[in-house]
Amino acid sequence: MEEAELCFPELLNTSCRRPPLPQSEEVLVYSLMFLFSLLTAVLNLLVIISISHYRQLHSPTNLIVLSLAVSDFIMGFLVMPIEIVIMWTCWVLGDLMCSLYFLLPITLICATIGNVVLISIDRYVAICDPLHYPTRITERRITIGICLCWTCSLLYTIFILYDNLKHPGRYKSCHGECVIRLAGDVDLVFLFILPVTVIIILYMRVFIVAVSQARAMRSHVAAKLQVSGTQMINKSELKAARTLGIVVAVFVLCYSPYYCVCLSGSSIMIGSAIEAFLSFLMFSNSGLNPLIYALFYPWFRKAMKHIVTLQILKPGSREANML
């Protein structure tokens, strides 16, 4: 019986113990987590199809939303199910594959953070400098920014995982365990403190300008409004700023617990139970984003209806009016 509980019975002294089979309550929790990961993948796939297919939705802002949806889709389709399985099984793919696996979720987290920063920059220019927005924020520049975001995310991930890739399995306590160690201080600064500081500063400025605009409109002096030398802000831009501001706020709420633990000085071993819980909280952000779009973006609801009813397959559907 004792040997049967080991991940590798032939390694009596160095094998991890196999996690106990989940009880009925745990099965329910795991089932709900799997359903949430499936919902995350499906909803983000709908966002990807909508923005990619309908020509009217091709805009610089939606390109960033598309990039964010791609990272969220991969998170829901691959990372979240694997994380759920890892919680109650032994790791049997070897130490190198363990280190290589973590390239995926960390790269996706970095890309998500980069995309949220790009959203903040886009809304800052759209609200605070609307006169120059069409020339400063172009599809070409946004495409370059998105490519740089994904490239830098991969390079950064390789950098912080270099020690684990060079010496796979260095930090595991027994065979059947998949854990790595990150440079916590570096990760905290570059993936939380710096980007969140930039996001908060930009959106504070956006908020101030948006409030000034709303007050001026209520006072019927919108035509004379002068906010830092800018012209009137389009209502659709203000609505997009509010919606994407909610996306940014939810992102900060989902990511804060993990990095607050790091900020407290506690060391988190990647692959441990507490890390798995905090990571899944971060991953849940990927499922919440498309729900926010569904609640606040009429074009997303309309596109979903077109896709579900297969109107997307009709000739000329790319030119359909979505706005």
Instruction: Indicate the helix (H) or strand (E) that contains 52.
Output: helix 24-53
CB-CB contact of 57 with 300 (8 Å): no
3-state secondary structure of 2: coil
Q: Does residue 6 lie within any of the structural domains?
A: no
pLDDT score, position 210: 74
pLDDT of residue 152: 95
Q: What is the mean pLDDT of residues 87-108?
A: 87
Task: State the CATH number of the domain containing residue 156.
Answer: 1.20.1070.10
Has residue 150 got a pLDDT over 90?
yes
In angstroms, the CA 68 to CA 322 distance is 20
* Residue percentage of the chain with pLDDT more than 90: 26
pLDDT in tens, 111-129: 999 998 999 899 889 888 8
> What is the C-alpha separation between 179 and 67, in angstroms, rounded?
29
b or e along 66-85 (b: 16 or more beta carbons within 10 Å of the residue's beta carbon)?
A: bbbbbbbbbbbbbbbeebbe
Q: Distance between CA 6 and CA 13 in Å, rounded?
A: 10
Q: What's residue 216's pLDDT?
A: 67
Averaged pLDDT, 134-153: 94
Q: Residue 270's pLDDT is what?
A: 55
Asked whether residue 219 is domain-assigned, the answer is yes
**Computed from CA positions of residues 216, 222, 226, 230, in that sequence, does the dihedral angle turn out positive or negative?**
positive
Inside any domain, residue 88: yes
Task: Name the residue with higher pLDDT: 44 or 203.
Answer: 44
**pLDDT > 70 in the chain, percent:** 83
**For residues 293 and 47, what is the distance between their CA atoms, to the nearest angstrom?**
9
Task: Tell me what pLDDT residue 1 has.
Answer: 39
- pLDDT of 3 reads 44
134 in any annotated domain:
yes
Residue pair 67/111 in contact by the 8 Å Cβ criterion: yes
The mean predicted confidence, pLDDT, of the chain is 82
Show the domain range for 285: 28-319
18 Cβ neighbours under 8 A, 6+ residues apart: 5, 6, 7, 89, 90, 176
Sign of the dihedral through C-alpha 126, 132, 134, 137: negative
pLDDT bracket for residue 86 (50, 70, 90): confident
Q: Does residue 160 have a pLDDT over 60?
A: yes
Q: Return the number of other C-beta atoms located less than 10 Å from residue 8's C-beta.
A: 16
One-letter identity of residue 6: L
DSSP H stretches of helix in the chain: 24-53, 60-74, 80-87, 95-101, 103-128, 133-136, 139-160, 162-166, 184-188, 194-218, 235-263, 273-296, 298-308
- Whether residue 15 lies inside any domain: the answer is no
Q: How does pLDDT run across 222-276, given as a tens digit for each residue?
A: 455 444 444 455 666 667 777 878 888 888 888 888 777 766 655 555 555 666 6
Does the structure show a pLDDT above 90 at 73? yes
Residue pLDDT, tens place only, 287-309: 888 888 888 888 888 998 999 89
Q: What pLDDT, on the 0 to 100 scale, is given for residue 145?
A: 95
- Residue 22 included in any domain: no
More confident residue, 218 or 306: 306
Decide if 264 contacts 184 (C-beta within 8 A). no
How confident is the model at residue 264, as a pLDDT?
Answer: 64
- Structural domains in the chain (count): 1
pLDDT of residue 183: 65
